[in-house]
Structures are given as structure tokens and as C-alpha cells.
């Protein structure tokens, strides 16, 4: 079979799809991964055929000073709309000859193009929150403790507002293509049998779903450990350090956080590894208790640290959980608030800290909680063992009936 996997987003939106593409390829199928242009060389290094689609999302995000503001949100929505228009223009050619197409993340044109061409379509979700339910709000809402009736209302409200937004864009194309207008485009995006590639130990599927769903576990990419003698020496020189990094969030915002992260660690007498996405030197470069690290695989790093401070992306959350370490989540946007709440409820980390309220003091308190709560650390270890026993990639390939 010729199977196309189409995704658009940050590295966290591409990496698990790449892992799935390689697993499908190992089963003897022909695959093509379609995604943002800046990930082409990286995917091809793994031996995965890759076709660029859309603009450079990484460059776009890096140009935003702060991700958690209303201005940033509006700019992001406008960017996504431009990408969807390009998807409608180019996907017909890309899907030619495909036996199955699998979509993930921000590919809102894909289900309609697949329908027009008669190509079977499946959607891959990395978070249960993408599915309408009374158990969680629409992903645009930060609050995760609404009553069930209000959660339902957020979905209905966003559905109503969307009639002049993405729904209108999609239905205009469908009209030109001779397809019926969609009353509920969101349900069409996820399809009638979605695969939820997240770990049920962190967040199971809500019981009131109106679509069929298979939850298979997060799709980790197998990466080799790069040689880094300086990092190894840092580990050997003391107790396991704290790790901090906000993944795909804007570089400028991350650079501004360095001082408060170092201060929070030092308040607790801890050393810290900081994930560095920017090029400029830091005032803390050369400090014995601070180590800046670039591009090191999470699954090789996280088991060696005492805790992980991160933004709450689905991939970093899953990598922290399978590594068996507590995690402190500082959500910036969308489902990061969902994951922050789920990690807190599972007692795998302290109460999440919103980015707008982040300070050295409250981050230091969260670090202290992770260090002092033995039950949290034991729970993290127990959850790690349960996740490791699951072959998520194999279950996902099986769920595709390949």
C-alpha cells in the first residue's frame, strides 16, 4: 500500500508522525511524510521520504515575542488560515495514487480533499481534548475546571463562532469542488474513527465521545544517544539536575526566562540543564551549576534528571511520563493547559504555573514540592513502568488495519 502521512505544526507535531511513518515502512508499505519544509532534511536522515508543504512554522513562531498573548493568538490564526488555503491548492496533486492518507495537527483541508478524491482517511490526535466532550473544554480555553455543562457550551460556542472562520473557508472550497457543505467541520476533520496517540495513564478517553476512537499510546521516535562528554561530566559531578525547556515556544521568550529558572533552581540548591534554542550567549554561560543543551533526545536525557520543567506539549509530557520523573508544567497555549491539569490530577507534578504568572518564587516552590514529595516520585515511577510495557507504535499500525 502507498500511505501518505500529512501533518503541519512544530517539531512536536512532526516527530510522532515520523515515528509512525517509519513503523509503517517497517511493515513493508510505501510511505510518504508530508509536512513543514524545515523538517525535510531531518526526516530524510531517518530514511523517510518527505515532501514539504506550507510555510516555515518554526521561523514564524520564533518571530513572535510571546506565545501566550492575544496578539500572538490572532497572528497564529491568520497564519493557519493561509496554510489551509495552500493545502487546498496543493493536496490534490500530493494525494494522487495514495491508498490511505493519515492526517495530524493543523491539516484542516486534508479530510475534504481526501473525500473528493475517494482516498480513505484517518486522523491521528495527540491529545483527547481535541474530541468534543463534556469532560473538557474546547482547546482554546485555559480553564480546565469548568462544570460539564459549561464544557459542552464551549464546544457549541466555538462551533457557532467558527461559521464565519475556518468553517466558511472549508465550505467555500467544498462548494467549488462539488461537495456538500459541512454542518460540523470539526467532526469531519477528525473523521469517524480517530486514533488518539496519547497514554491513557495520563488522560483516558472521556466516556461521552460521539465518534469512535482507538487510544494507542504516544508515538516515541527511536533516536540514538549523541556523544556529549561535557554533558556526561556534568551529570557525574553531582546529584541529578533539574531540566527546563519550553520546546517550540518563541526563542525570545525562552531566553528571557533563563534568569528566573536559574534563580528558582538555586533557591533549592539544585543544578539545572536548560534547553537552549537561541544562539546568543547567556550571562550564565560557564556557571558550574548551569548547563545549556541543544538538540539532545528527551528519552536519553530525562531519566537522568530529577524533574522536567516544560511547556506542556503532548510530546514532552509523554516523554517525561515514560522517563519516570515528576514534571512542572508552565502552559502557554491550547492543549498545554489540558496536560498541565492532567499531570497535576495524576499526582505526577505540582499545580501548573501559567506563563503569565511565572516567577522565580513560584517556580522555586514547585521545584521544592517535587523534591520533597516522595509519593509523587513513586507514582511517576509506577506510571513509567506501565507505559513502557505498551507497544504504542505497533498498536497504532494495527489500528490502521494495515
Mean pLDDT of all residues belonging to the chain: 92
Report the pLDDT value the prediction gives residue 402, as an integer from 0 to 100: 73
> In the predicted model, is pLDDT for residue 319 greater than 80?
yes
> In the predicted model, is pLDDT for residue 161 greater than 80?
no
**Are 311 and 247 a contacting pair, CB within 8 Å?**
yes
Task: Check residues 182 and 159 and name the one with the higher pLDDT.
Answer: 182
B/e letters for 150-169, b = 16+ CB within 10 Å, e = fewer, are ebbebbeebbeebeeebbeb
Q: Give residue for cell 486522523.
A: 123
Report the pLDDT value the prediction gives residue 78, as an integer from 0 to 100: 80
Q: What is the pLDDT of residues 239-264, one digit of tens each?
A: 999 999 987 665 666 677 889 999 99
Task: Check residues 90 and 66 and name the one with the higher pLDDT.
Answer: 90
Rounded-to-integer distance, Cα 337 and Cα 307, Å: 19
Mean pLDDT of 322-344: 96
pLDDT-derived band at 226 (thresholds 50, 70, 90) equals confident
Q: Which residues, at least 6 apart from 388, have a Cβ–Cβ distance to it below 8 Å?
A: 322
> In the predicted model, is pLDDT for residue 42 greater than 80?
yes
218: helix, strand or coil: coil
Looking at the chain, how many residues does it have? 402
Q: Give residue for cell 459541512.
A: 182
Radius of gyration, alpha carbons of the chain: 21
Report the pLDDT value the prediction gives residue 180, as an integer from 0 to 100: 95
Rounded-to-integer distance, Cα 336 and Cα 158, Å: 19
Angle between helices 110-117 and 166-176 (to 10 degrees): 20
242: helix, strand or coil: strand
Weakest mean pLDDT among 43-57, 157-171, 200-214: 157-171
Report the pLDDT value the prediction gives residue 295, as an integer from 0 to 100: 84
**Are 274 and 291 a contacting pair, CB within 8 Å?**
yes
Angle between helices 166-176 and 70-94 (to 10 degrees): 20
Q: What is the pLDDT of residues 363-381, one digit of tens each?
A: 999 999 999 999 999 999 9
**Are 129 and 341 a contacting pair, CB within 8 Å?**
no
**Count of beta carbons in the 10 Å neighbourhood of residue 174:** 21
DSSP secondary structure string for all residues of 7-62: EESSHHHHHHHHHHHHHHHHTT-EEEEEE-GGGHHHHHHTT--EEE-S--HHHHHH
Task: Check residues 70 and 188 and name the one with the higher pLDDT.
Answer: 188
pTM given for the model: 0.93
Report the pLDDT value the prediction gives residue 249, as an integer from 0 to 100: 60
Report the pLDDT value the prediction gives residue 302, as an integer from 0 to 100: 97
Q: How much of the chain is helix, strand and coil, in % rounded to 5?
A: 50, 15, 40
168: helix, strand or coil: helix
Task: Check residues 69 and 355 and name the one with the higher pLDDT.
Answer: 355
Q: Which residues, at least 6 apart from 236, have a Cβ–Cβ distance to it below 8 Å?
A: none
pLDDT-derived band at 198 (thresholds 50, 70, 90) equals very high
Rounded-to-integer distance, Cα 252 and Cα 304, Å: 28
> In the predicted model, is pLDDT for residue 279 greater than 70?
no
Report the pLDDT value the prediction gives residue 341, as an integer from 0 to 100: 98
pLDDT-derived band at 159 (thresholds 50, 70, 90) equals confident
- Cα dihedral sign for 285, 41, 393, 399? positive
> In the predicted model, is pLDDT for residue 278 greater than 70?
no
For the chain, percent of residues with pLDDT exceeding 90: 76
305: helix, strand or coil: coil
Mean pLDDT of 292-310: 95
Amino acid at each position: 500500500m502507498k500511505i501518505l502521512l500529512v501533518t503541519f505544526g512544530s517539531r512536536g507535531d512532526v516527530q510522532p508522525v515520523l515515528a509512525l511513518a517509519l513503523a509503517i515502512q517497517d511493515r513493508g508499505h510505501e510511505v510518504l511524510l508530508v509536512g513543514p519544509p524545515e523538517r525535510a532534511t531531518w526526516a530524510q536522515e531517518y530514511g523517510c521520504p518527505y515532501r514539504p508543504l506550507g510555510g516555515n512554522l518554526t521561523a514564524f513562531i520564533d518571530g513572535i515575542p510571546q506565545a501566550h498573548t492575544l496578539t500572538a493568538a490572532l497572528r497564529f490564526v491568520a497564519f493557519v488560515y493561509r496554510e489551509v488555503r495552500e493545502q487546498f491548492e496543493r493536496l490534490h496533486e500530493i494525494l494522487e495514487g495514495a491508498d490511505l492518507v493519515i492526517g495530524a495537527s493543523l491539516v484542516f483541508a486534508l479530510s475534504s480533499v481526501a473525500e473528493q478524491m475517494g482516498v480513505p482517511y484517518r486522523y491521528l490526535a495527540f491529545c483527547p481534548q481535541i474530541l468534543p466532550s463534556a469532560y473538557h473544554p474546547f482547546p482554546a480555553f485555559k480553564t480546565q475546571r469548568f462544570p460539564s455543562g459549561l464544557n459542552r457550551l464551549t464546544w457549541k460556542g466555538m462551533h457557532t463562532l467558527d461559521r464565519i472562520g475556518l468553517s466558511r473557508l472549508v465550505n467555500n472550497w467544498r462548494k467549488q469542488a462539488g461537495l456538500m457543505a459541512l454542518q460540523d467541520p470539526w467532526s469531519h476533520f477528525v473523521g469517524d474513527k480517530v486514533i488518539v496517540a496519547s497514554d491513557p495513564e495520563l488522560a483516558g478517553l472521556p466516556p461521552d465521545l460521539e465518534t469512535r476512537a482507538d487510544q494507542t499510546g504516544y508515538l516515541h521516535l527511536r533516536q540514538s544517544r549523541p556523544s556529549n562528554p561535557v554533558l556526561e561530566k556534568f551529570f557525574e559531578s553531582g546529584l541529578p539536575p533539574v531540566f527546563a525547556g519550553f520546546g517550540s515556544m518563541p526563542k525570545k521568550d525562552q531566553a528571557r526566562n533563563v534568569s528566573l529558572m536559574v534563580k528558582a533552581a538555586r533557591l533549592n540548591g539544585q543544578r539545572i540543564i536548560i534547553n537552549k534554542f537561541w544562539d546568543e550567549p547567556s550571562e550564565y554561560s560557564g556557571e558550574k551549576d548551569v548547563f545549556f543543551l541543544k538538540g539532545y533526545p528527551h528519552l536519553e536525557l530525562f531519566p537522568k534528571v530529577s524533574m522536567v520543567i516544560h511547556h506542556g506539549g503532548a510530546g514532552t509530557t509523554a516523554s517525561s511520563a515514560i522517563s519516570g520523573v515528576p514534571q512542572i508544567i508552565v502552559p502557554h497555549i491550547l492543549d498545554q493547559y489540558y496536560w498541565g491539569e492532567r499531570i497535576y490530577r495524576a499526582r505526577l507534578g505540582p499545580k501548573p504555573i501559567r506563563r503569565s504568572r511565572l516567577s522565580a518564587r513560584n517556580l522555586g516552590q514547585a521545584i521544592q514540592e517535587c523534591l520533597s514529595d516522595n509519593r509523587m516520585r513513586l507514582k511517576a515511577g509506577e506510571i513509567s513502568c506501565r507505559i513502557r510495557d505498551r507497544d504504542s507504535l505497533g498498536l497504532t499500525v494495527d489500528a490502521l488495519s494495515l
